[in-house]
Structure formats: structure tokens, C-alpha cells
Amino acid sequence: MLIKEYIDYLRGVRRYSQRTLELYEEVLKEFEGSGEALTATGIRNYEVHLLDTKKESARTVGLHMSVLSGYCKFLIKRGDLASNPVRLVKRPKEEKRLPTFYREDAMKEYFEATEHNADKEALEFLLSLPASDPTAVLMYERRLRRLIISLLFGTGIRRSELISLNIGSLNRGRQTLSVLGKGDKMREIPVVRSLYDEILLYLSAADYVFGADGGADTPLLRTPKGARLYPVYVDRAVKEELADSDGFTGKKSPHVLRHTIASELLDEGTDLNSIKEMLGHSSLAATQVYTHNTIERLKKVYQNAHPRANKNGGKYGDQD
């Protein structure tokens, strides 16, 4: 299999992210290791293996099929394959899953409870300590982790986009962030005043801890060791920051924060096109999934409050 050439093609021509490239390579190598051929029968056998032997979900199997289909299209362009065998194999039906999100009051409680990690008073105390003092480093990391939550929730950016932010990404005059999204597409996101002030206070702390010599290409957010953030650090920060609150049930991840702000904006009447631009979706269809959350919540409100909601028709129903 020409896996390396395909991955190089996705990297250089399609501009796929490093995480996506790793995922595609992993899938292709797993198929290669199965010993199946790139034929309809081989693809079908591999699908059965994933479902019955590995007990993978329909969604995961669908992902494998999509990767294999893309690879086959690449081989067809090269003249190494006559047709795409994946198209002849029926994929398992996936259950539609609505985006999960956190409750509005839970987010409010979190920001109120951690305000002391982001305010000016805490910064002044940090600046009164030697930069290498363990307490100063601890206070810096608490401020950093709070800002990670604030940025993910306040802007709806992806984890990879958060990691790639540089000091030059912040336009102080316009109070916006320039974000490099999927497909190397740049978009500009407005930053609300409270978040903008928090970023500036954080940068003051970072300048003190690491030295104020960073240029425009210096990472906006840096670990306590001064390095650029990395995926595991961000995931761990989100889980630990949200762990102590009863309002955050289920999965605690950067992507759920992205879902949450999108759902809240929609509930407040923000039009879908504006949310689409903020999230960096390539099509409106990807954004419309959030309308399902709003409809489901509306159903629950109607069920509890509508005068004709109960089985007897409520107070306007049939009377004995």
C-alpha cells in the first residue's frame, strides 16, 4: 500500500491537520495489517471484523470506511485502481447524536468561582514574588488554565486552534483574534471586553515569569515551562478545571465548550451564519446541528409548561 505517499499528499496538497494525518495513517495501517485486499469482498470482511471482533461503534466503522474510500480515490487518480470498492459496501447505520453541552448556570458558577485566579489583585501578588518562586509558578498556571477555559468557551475555537495562537494573533486595536482553522483558512473572531482584559492580565503574568522578550510569533499561551501548549495539556486542564463543579456532568473536553457557546448563542437569537463564521465551519449544514439542541429543549419546556401537554389535554382538554 502507498500509505506514505497518500499521507504526504494529504499534508502537502489537502493541508490536513497533523492529528488528522495521524488518524488516517493509523486506519490505513490497521487495514493493511488485516491482510484483506482492496476489493469489495476485502472491505466487507474488514467491516465485519471491526463490528464483530473489535466491537467498534458504527461511527468508528464509518470513519474507517471514509478513510479507505479517500485512499482508493487517490489510487484511482494514480491509475493504480480501476474503481472504488468501498462504494459497493453498505456502511452500518449510525445513531444521530446531538452535540453535548454544559448548562449556562454551570458555566456562570465556574467563572465566578475562579475569578480570583484571573483578577488584577492576584496578578499584583504574583508580581511581588520572585519569578522562579514556586508560588508564582503555581499562580501563573492557575491563571493559564482559567484562560484556556475562557478562550475555548468565549470564542468557540477548536483545541488545535487554541494551541496555534500566537501573541501576534491578538489585535489589540480591534480587540479580535486571528485564528488559523481547518484548511489553513484564517478567520477573525471578536473578543468580548472581559475576555480581552483577562488575556492582557495573563500576558503580564507570562512576561514576568518568562521575560518580556517574546515577538509576534511567540505562543500566546505557554506551559509553566515556557513551551507552547499541546493537546494532552489542554485536555487535562479542562478536565481538572471543571472537575470540582457538580454542574459539569459527562465528558469534560474542549469540544464540549465549543458546543456550549454555539448552543447559547443560538438560544440568544444569534443567526446561524454568524455562528458558522465564528466556529469556522465550511458549510451551514455543520452549524445547523445546534438547532436540534434548541428544539429538544423547547420540547421539554412545552411538555412541562404547555396547558395541553398532559394526556388529558390540560386545562383546555376534555372535561368530565
Active site residues: 158, 182, 255, 258, 281, 290
Using an 8 Å Cβ cutoff, are 2 and 75 in contact? Answer: yes
Strand partners, 189: 177
Residue 30: CB atoms within 10 A of its CB come to 15
Cell 475562579 belongs to residue: 114
Give the residue among 241, 58, 31, 268 at the shortest CA–CA distance from 141. 241
Conformation bin of residue 103: beta by default, left when phi > 0, alpha when psi is -120 to 50: beta
